[in-house]
Structure 1
């Protein structure tokens, strides 16, 4: 820009050059337009109020300062809408300096100043200010008094403690967090108990300090077998369902022997051995290998043995064969009258009493 001023033989003061650079905002076209206006006015800087005054009022949370700057700018002929746009443009540079400093197109000295304002304001406050001023820029199109809208918006931005919207609450929390420096690893100290009636600390009351619970060490072999049910409850869903019926027998030198109820269940459990071994290794702090013992079926209640009949010896059989028989104990066999086999006609006649046999006449 100085080359343009020198080449055009323009007389522009240093204050006017700074004002032109500020109004240009890093744009060559806007900078040349501002330079043309300044040169046409005699090369001296106009008495304009910088947007930095409003940004500093938001940082200091000073509503009176913001309203006074607004009144001074409007008395010098500034349009309320143009004033709001300049403040939003300044806030945008603050936002970019926080999120993407490489995108800030300002002179080096101005970039440092804007970055300092952005750090003191905070990202949430910058975003909230842009949102509030953006809303009033839309409302100004149909508002009868644009000055009132910008004044109300500036009061909202500078009086965060009186606002109840989410953005202001977040800003208040961020300010509280920024003002607290506490070691995250240190235990939280509870305040001393206070008497509700008097509002004073109770006599003998002592603030309790939270004591860190002792960390549980790795399980030994005996503890792993004894606490097997609790260990299984920490497995994943499918492995927990399968190993819930598996019992731990012993654990010796990192080899955990388990027993399944049957062969089918054992084959199903072997599918999850790798995952279970990895989890057991993380629990115990050492390598654990699972070994399955042979499933032992419970013996069923056997039926009572039947009494065996006594077996007769050869001598007893011989004595029974050649034993003397008393003739009085013998009985005669019944005598049966021999009957001839009846013919078919007789059997039918007996089956149908009163029937008569009619012979078939012979054919002539």
Structure 2
């Protein structure tokens, strides 16, 4: 006799044998008893939850000759025997994944009106979401108004891909994953009926492998029975989880290497680790995920407190993303290793700035980069004018707060002992900022401008450096329109200058046209217009000065054309 797998051998034959789907069983059983069975049903849910088995039981009950009072098929009549043997003519099963074109649907619609030996004819379309759009549309009319003796049962694992017009013509019932407690009891019953010797550890293993799917659970039970126990190469995730809890990168990498070397797939390791970390997170919140036993909850809660919620959530995010990236990765283990590196890189140094801080009395090392010295001095040192200097901290590695506004300048005490001397390092760093306009202009033309992008180089080609002072470079542009366009990419210029001079540089843009208008407007406003009074011409008639002479004096450069005309006449 050919061996039959456990999930096929112990497939439910009655409604009461279906576990974990009480809402569906109650609805179908009542519909059978009250003879109110719908013309079309849509059963959706994860794999191995009983969609196909429930549809077969419904067809078996509708055609049972000796139906019991609670809607259960008798299992002894000829119709029930044919259903259990799988050769009933009243059930037509079609795999929509491989029969998904219009021709297959037309065959169903053409044969739907034909009679069958039993009272009802049931069409079971499995994986109905795989039908093409044309095939789904061809099914609509028959699905909406089938013959009186025909019932359609559609099964799918992805109801979102089913056309809304099909969903609206059916009674949609969602199936859920089975709880671990029910799966444990079910495995124990199956082991007892099949006379299998299996311990509690093996039961926990197959329930964990099943993940709420009855078929996957029984398949795992088959593997355990065949192997004579839990496979040794399975590998435990406890070592990796403990290393993540302790936030130890070395132990985490060692746990991955040892587990993968034992033959565990990195994808399976990442998946089981993610589930374990989820159980830890829920246990820390006082919730049982359903996959952990009561004895494991205190230990999981203790790990959650040791790890911290932030690290736990971060680990779940990174491992979840790693599972997605592993689908297309040529080396899944590398993806898992990088995920853990990112995890500990973000959690091992929560205060990096405080680590690098040094005592204020410690002088700066000569190996420090000049750019770091300049940035520190620029942030901490402030000039007060007239040779007065405010005391600055010699710790150039820590970032000081920005200088106050000019209106709130720090008052300098007149006592000489209150003025702290500026260290030699600060003086050198500050000197590196006092670049001459000639040097800045030269390096701008030779180094900065050629390194810019094409757009920035084109816009700043006409810019002229007018002033360089206190880390600020002022550019003059031909007009206001040009300045506004250059203002959009000012940050690119600041970045380029910072890279070349290795100091923080602030760029200021001005328009040359405005300054010229402002400077030329003032002299014109100061010129007073000279008014010539004609009465003065008459008053000065006796003095020998003619009116023409007075006009020529009032308007220098004018030519008296009347004299030339009289002379010519």
Give the TM-score category using the shorter length.
0.3 to 0.5
TM-score by length of 2: 0.27
